[in-house]
Amino acid sequence: MSQTHFSRIGFMASSVTEAQNAKARLQERYGTHDLGNCDVIVALGGDGLMLSALHDFMNTGIPIYGMNRGSVGFLMNEYAEDGLIERLAAAFPTVIHPLSMQAWDADGVLHEARALNEVSLLRQTYQAAKLKISVDDRVRLEELICDGALVATPAGSTAYNLSAHGPILPITATMLALTPISPFRPRRWRGAILPSNAKVRFDVLEADKRPVAVAADAQETRSVVRVDIIECRTDSANMLFDPDHSLEERILNEQFSGF
């Protein structure tokens, strides 16, 4: 366990009343410091807030300890007001690296973003998308007719990727999941597990007739014609988990649940 002493705690919360009330109680009990000048940030909400916090404080070295006050909390620890200092000191650190996305739209404009969970391409209309997929500059699939496709990190493999029947990846795995979303042709293609240093390229075929949007976590770009994705090892975000609820343990448990 980390056994790190955090003397300056900053608190942030989602907009829901339950999270805001929890923030007020914890600040009164433990004090608070500015988020840019603290040793640790306690995030109160759901996974959406956690992802937002990780993006906002990426590369700062400030770890983020989430407590669930939202509807989804896979990335969060259980909420409790007692013993927060001791829980922070005993928490396990997890370092995650984002995906770097470059996307060109129909006007030739380049859009760049980072994704800690996944980069997903989705059809914009009733027409199925047609995608050509290349890995490390070699075409691997000439044409995938589908609702979309995504590339997920290990941390994001239990999110949208899992709903699309993609593989769950251990948090320490140097791998990425490439997963189709409702594939029509080839119907039985289930995707691929790639090394984390692989460069994935999607070319949108018949883009005028079959427009496609891309989302890097919550950042969306519409009418794209090409998307390049690669893991960014120079960027990182730090998370803290209770010893009995580490992200690695949660991902392992996910593979034996839901039956």
The answer to whether the 9-96+236-254 and 99-231 domains have the same CATH topology is: no
145-165 pLDDT, tens digit each: 999 999 999 989 988 999 999
Give domain limits for the chain. 9-96+236-254, 99-231
Can 235 be counted among the known catalytic residues? no
The residue type found at 205 is: L
Mean pLDDT for the stretch of residues 27-32: 94
The span from the CA of 151 to the CA of 146, in Å, is 15
The residue annotated as part of the active site, out of 34, 39, 47, 107, is 47
* The two three-digit tokens of residue 247, written as one number: 């992200």
Q: Model-level pTM?
A: 0.85
- pLDDT band for position 71 (50/70/90)? confident
Pick among 3.40.50.10330, 2.40.50.100, 3.40.50.20, 3.40.50.720: CATH of 9-96+236-254: 3.40.50.10330
Is CATH 3.40.630.20 what the domain over 99-231 is classified as, yes or no? no
The CA angle 195-199-204, to the nearest 5 degrees, is 125
H-assigned helices in 96-185 = 160-163
Report the range of poorest mean pLDDT among 96-105, 155-164, 204-213.
155-164
- pLDDT band for position 255 (50/70/90)? low
Helices and strands in the chain, H and E counts: 5, 17
- pLDDT band for position 7 (50/70/90)? confident
* The two three-digit tokens of residue 70, written as one number: 């939202």
Q: What is the CA radius of gyration of the chain?
A: 20
Cis check for the bond before 183: say yes or no (omega within 30 of 0). no
pLDDT at 246: 66
Residue 259 reports pLDDT greater than 50: no
